[in-house]
Amino acid sequence: MPDREPTWNPYRRTDTEDKKGDQDSWMMSYGDMMTLLLVFFVLIVSISEVDPVKMQQVTQSLRNAVSGAQENVPTLREIEEEMLQSVKDLNLEEVVQVNRDRNGVQLMMKGESFFPSGEAILYPKTYPFLDEVAWQITKTPYLVAVEGHTDNVPIHTPQFPSNWELSGARAAAVVRYMELKHGLPRTRFRIVGFADAKPFDPELGNSTPEARARNRRVIIRFLNEFAPGAKEQIGLK
């Protein structure tokens, strides 16, 4: 009895169709991923002001998803809270102010409490606080800017011909301590000397002794990487 011709099934996929389906499957997955990324970035752009903490948490989640590892980077809010506690524990509330804004976490240190007048040598009593700051830096990936500020009283010494040199040297002294004592890489830091160009209160300027005292300060900033123009303003990019 002759073999019967196999019955043609219109619903059965041919070998050619199977191969084509396998080749197209990765394109569907790729397209889904690109669509999700597009929606994600559209949402970001649509937000008028990005919350640095929430943005950092989203970015960290994405990094963990891509790398498969669990990365636990302290948020700016956590850094602020820990530094506030350190200032309290060291009884430095009168000489160190801690606050956080969209540009990052700022530690403002009164100049006369950290340096002798007209000098850029740190008082040894400031080391415990700087050790706490260095410990925070080791736990985070943030870039750090250290700013030196002075009042408008002229200075003219062989070491510091003007307040420009003094403000830069004080910022450098802070970074040098962290580099030499704690081995922090210099690539994490930028030093800025403002002299008297940026008074604490622009309206008061240097018009009173109290205002001049507030202007003599050093600021350590943990920079928020999501703040528009934060890095470019001090040459970090």
Structural domain of 25: 15-67
169 and 95 fall within a common domain:
yes
Supply the pLDDT for residue 16: 54
Assess whether 218 and 152 both reside in one domain: yes
pLDDT digits 0-9 by tens, 71-130: 567 889 999 999 999 999 999 999 999 999 888 999 999 999 999 999 999 999 999 999
Answer yes or no: is 1 within a domain. no
pLDDT at residue 233 tops 80: no
- Domain assignment of residue 8, yes or no: no
The pLDDT of residue 173:
98
Same structural domain, 19 and 56: yes
- 53 and 160, same structural domain? no
- Do 91 and 135 lie in a common domain? yes
Read off the CATH number of the domain in which 200 is found.
3.30.1330.60
- pLDDT tens digit sequence for 1-40: 555 555 545 545 555 555 555 555 666 666 677 777 766 6
- pLDDT by residue (tens digit) across 178-228? 999 999 999 999 999 999 999 999 999 999 999 999 999 999 999 987 655
> In this model, does residue 142 exceed pLDDT 50?
yes
Residue 48's pLDDT band, with cuts at 50, 70 and 90, is: very low
- Distance CA(65)–CA(85), nearest Å, equals 32
Return the pLDDT at 3: 55
* Residue 157 resides in a domain: yes
What does the pLDDT look like over 109-120, one tens digit per residue? Answer: 999 999 999 999
Q: Is the pLDDT of residue 68 over 80?
A: no
pLDDT of residue 143: 92
- Could you give the number of structural domains in the chain? 2
Q: Which of these, 157, 172, 65, 164, lies nearest to 120 by C-alpha position?
A: 172
Residues 39 and 90 in one domain: no
> What pLDDT digit, counting tens, does each position of 158-179 carry?
999 999 999 999 999 999 999 9
With a cut of 70, say whether residue 53 has pLDDT above it: no
Using the 3D structure, point to which of 24, 50, 67 is the last residue of a domain: 67
Are 30 and 133 members of one domain?
no
- Looking at the structure, tell me whether residues 150 and 37 fall in a common domain: no
pTM above the 0.85 mark? no
Same domain flag for 182 and 81: yes
Residue 3, in any domain of the structure: no
Mark whether 165 and 202 lie in a shared domain: yes
